[in-house]
């Protein structure tokens, strides 16, 4: 973006009159599972919390194919674009037989839609037979996970301002991967200078799993495998005590708040303002379309506004604050200092909204109307 009156370095072949639009930085979604657009509103899991929800869906997801993943990814990306989202992080951890190159499929989908993406190479290595949650047909061996992770970084990861596609490492969760994979992923991320992502502290069932299997609470476990640091951002981050929040803040470890999913699965409410006060970066994510069930960042920002008011009261949670989480805050989670703001030198990733639909009739403040009048 240029200062007013400054000439661009290259000729412009198109102009756009935005005088009647609400202009925002492109929204940034920092946690998703694109493939789950194929299992939205599936009756057997509509009323289930996380663990039974996962155990019911794992066998269904195990039948995912490259063709299905391509369609699901394009649907998710298109929905995000229509809601003003220009950058998305996807957490793909399913690599059944025939889908070993899932991230390659997603790269092609991102290129076709023209978005920016942080594609995280997820993994599951701890199956039911070894005390984990996922069935054996959905897990991979550690050496396979690490080799593919390195291949993807070397093949696709772009660095610097303006990067379109980046890769991060994302072992799925404490109940689906081994501590060894967590530690080796952290070492690889440091060596190759990429980010780390995982689910953490989403439910009390997860906390109980960590205590029973590792003898540690979730943040202690994260620290034990070398993940407590500024390279890491966590999905959900609900069940932390005050000491754990302070440790996350001191380490600069970020949290992606996923309000729709947290309500749908009755997981709890993320302590957003406490995390921010401690120094932890905070952004927003729609989460997977099987637990939301939409890929709509304006809707997600609205949900964050309302859910967080239940915890912190209306005066402290404003439309401007949560829109900041969906833009600058989310950019910080992804390490993208070139995104998330309307400022000179930032990437011109813009979201423009026209408030001329019936639902905006009678509205006054444009930013508030964008969230309060529906999505």
Which tens digits make up the pLDDT trace of 33-50? 999 999 999 999 999 999
Spell out where 69-188 has E strands.
85-92, 116-123, 165-171
* Number of helical H runs and strand E runs in the chain: 14, 10
The answer to whether residue 167 is domain-embedded is yes
Contact present, 227 and 182 (Cβ < 8 Å): yes
User: What does the alpha-carbon distance between residue 58 and residue 55 come to, in Å, rounded to a whole number?
Assistant: 5
What's the whole-number average pLDDT of the chain? 97
Per-residue pLDDT of the chain (375 residues; tens, 9 = 90+): 988 888 888 888 888 899 999 999 999 999 999 999 999 999 999 999 999 999 999 999 999 999 999 999 999 999 999 999 999 999 999 999 999 999 999 999 999 999 999 999 999 999 999 999 999 999 999 999 999 999 999 999 999 999 999 999 999 999 999 999 999 999 999 999 999 999 999 999 999 999 999 999 999 999 999 999 999 999 999 999 999 999 999 999 999 999 999 999 999 999 999 999 999 999 999 999 999 999 999 999 999 999 999 999 999 999 999 999 999 999 999 999 999 999 999 999 999 999 999 999 999 999 999 999 987
The answer to whether residue 349 is domain-embedded is yes
Which residue, 278, 160, 153, 292, is CA-closest to 235? 292
The answer to whether residue 103 is domain-embedded is yes
DSSP state of 216: S
DSSP-derived 3-state class of residue 350: strand
pLDDT, tens digit, for every residue of 176-215?
999 999 999 999 999 999 999 999 999 999 999 999 999 9
What integer pLDDT is reported at residue 7 of this predicted model?
Answer: 83
The answer to whether residue 250 is domain-embedded is yes
Cα 14 from chain centroid (whole Å) = 33
CA angle 149, 96, 119 (to 5 degrees): 40
Residue whose entry in the numeric block shows the structure tokens 């423009």 = 352
Q: What is the CA radius of gyration of the chain?
A: 20
DSSP-derived 3-state class of residue 58: helix
Domain that holds residue 65: 23-372
User: What does the alpha-carbon distance between residue 332 and residue 318 come to, in Å, rounded to a whole number?
Assistant: 20
Supply the pTM of this predicted model.
Answer: 0.97
The answer to whether residue 353 is domain-embedded is yes
What integer pLDDT is reported at residue 166 of this predicted model?
Answer: 99
- Residue 112 region, left (φ>0) first, then alpha (ψ -120 to 50), else beta? alpha
What integer pLDDT is reported at residue 10 of this predicted model?
Answer: 80
Contacts of 340 (CB under 8 A, 6+ apart): 25, 28, 327, 328, 329, 330, 331, 332, 346
Tell me the two tokens of residue 101: 């190159």
DSSP-derived 3-state class of residue 77: helix
Residue 51's CATH number: 3.20.20.140
The answer to whether residue 1 is domain-embedded is no
The answer to whether residue 13 is domain-embedded is no
Count of the separate structural domains present in the chain: 1
Contact present, 291 and 318 (Cβ < 8 Å): no
Tell me the two tokens of residue 170: 């994302």
Cis peptide before 346 (omega within 30 of 0): no
What integer pLDDT is reported at residue 9 of this predicted model?
Answer: 80
Q: Helix 204-214 to helix 50-61 angle, to the nearest 10 degrees? A: 80
User: What does the alpha-carbon distance between residue 138 and residue 57 come to, in Å, rounded to a whole number?
Assistant: 11
**How far are the Cα atoms of 51, 65, 159, 248 from residue 98, in angstroms, in the given order?**
26, 7, 30, 38
The answer to whether residue 15 is domain-embedded is no
């Amino acid at each position: 973006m240029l200062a007013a009156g400054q000439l661009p370095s290259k000729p412009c072949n198109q102009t756009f009159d935005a005088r009647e639009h609400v202009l925002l930085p492109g929204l940034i979604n920092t946690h998703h599972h694109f493939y789950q657009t194929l299992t939205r509103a599936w009756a057997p899991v509509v009323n289930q919390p996380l663990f039974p929800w996962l155990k019911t869906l794992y066998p269904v997801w195990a039948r995912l194919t490259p063709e299905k993943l391509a369609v699901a990814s394009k649907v998710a990306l298109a929905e995000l674009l229509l809601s003003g989202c220009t950058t998305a992080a996807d957490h793909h951890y399913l690599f059944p037989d025939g889908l070993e190159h899932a991230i390659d499929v997603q790269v092609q989908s991102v290129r076709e839609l023209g978005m920016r993406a942080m594609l995280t190479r997820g993994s599951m290595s701890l199956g039911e037979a070894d005390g984990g949650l996922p069935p054996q047909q959905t897990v991979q061996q550690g050496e396979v996970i690490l080799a593919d992770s390195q291949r993807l970084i070397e093949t696709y990861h772009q660095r610097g301002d303006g990067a379109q596609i980046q890769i991060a490492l994302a072992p799925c969760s404490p109940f689906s991967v081994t501590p060894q994979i967590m530690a080796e992923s952290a070492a690889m991320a440091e060596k190759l200078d990429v980010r780390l992502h995982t689910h953490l502290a989403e439910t009390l069932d997860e906390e109980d799993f960590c205590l029973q299997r590792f003898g540690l609470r979730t943040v202690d476990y994260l620290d034990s495998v070398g993940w407590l640091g500024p390279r890491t951002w966590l999905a959900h981050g609900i069940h932390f005590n005050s000491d754990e929040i302070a440790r996350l803040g001191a380490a600069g470890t970020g949290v992606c708040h996923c309000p729709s999913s947290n309500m749908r699965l009755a997981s709890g409410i993320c302590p957003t303002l406490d995390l921010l006060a401690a120094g932890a970066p905070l952004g927003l994510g729609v989460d997977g379309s099987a637990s939301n069930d939409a890929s709509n960042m304006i809707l997600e920002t609205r949900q964050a506004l309302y859910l967080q008011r239940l915890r912190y009261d209306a005066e402290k949670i404003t439309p401007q604050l949560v829109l900041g989480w969906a833009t600058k805050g989310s950019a910080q989670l992804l390490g993208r200092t070139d995104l998330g703001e309307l400022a000179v030198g930032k990437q011109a990733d813009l979201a423009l909204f026209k408030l001329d639909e019936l639902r905006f009739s009678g509205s006054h403040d444009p930013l508030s109307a964008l969230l309060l009048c529906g999505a």
